[in-house]
Amino acid sequence: MGAALVTPYALTVDAGVRDLRAADHLLHRMAAGLALPEGTFGCTHLVRGDRPRVAVSLSLPSRPLLDATRERLAGAGYGAVSPGLPDAVGRAVLYPGAPALTGTMTVAELVARSAIDRVTVLGTPDPPDPETRMVTRDHVRPQWQRDELVLAATPALGGTLVPFEDPDPTPCCADH
């Protein structure tokens, strides 16, 4: 699949969501309910200020698709819809190839099957060997960095890598 296509056809939905997990679910509900087309990117964005929350954005492959999606969103009650992106560093939940990133695969396969441009390993300056095995945990959330979709990974058992973001994080202060 290769490099991600950055598009100017974007809109933001602010539904007042307070956490990433709820924003992920919102994006998946929107994708199913609106029958979003192939090539759509759905991202989460942290909104700071008086009312911290997580907004979601949709980037679509064309102006007609954007206009049609904006109309459907307005009538569906997902929240406030505005044009453009809230920032340039969204965390991608919906992107081309995302459903195929399950199980274990090599870094090269992960990049070839999806819109992810590259993989980085936290704490190392060099990119991972393309043949390094990636255990996806069925939860791959790359982030936009300088117009590239980049997946941060961490070393795991047996010389494998896992995406940095844990699919089932322990809530803060869970043990006290």
Q: What is the pLDDT of residues 44-75, one digit of tens each?
A: 999 998 889 999 999 999 999 999 999 888 87
Phi, psi of 87 (to 5 degrees): -165, 175
Look at residue 158 and tell me whether its pLDDT is greater than 90: yes
- pLDDT at residue 77 greater than cutoff 70: yes
Helix axes 63-76, 20-34, angle to 10 degrees: 110
C-beta atoms surrounding 149 within 10 Å: 24
SS3 state of residue 72: helix
Q: Where are the beta strands (DSSP E) in 18-140?
A: 41-47, 53-59, 80-83, 91-94, 104-106, 118-121, 133-135
pTM comes to: 0.89
> Maximum Cα–Cα distance for the chain, whole Å?
51
- In the three-class reduction of DSSP (H, G, I as helix; E, B as strand; rest coil), residue 112 is classed as helix
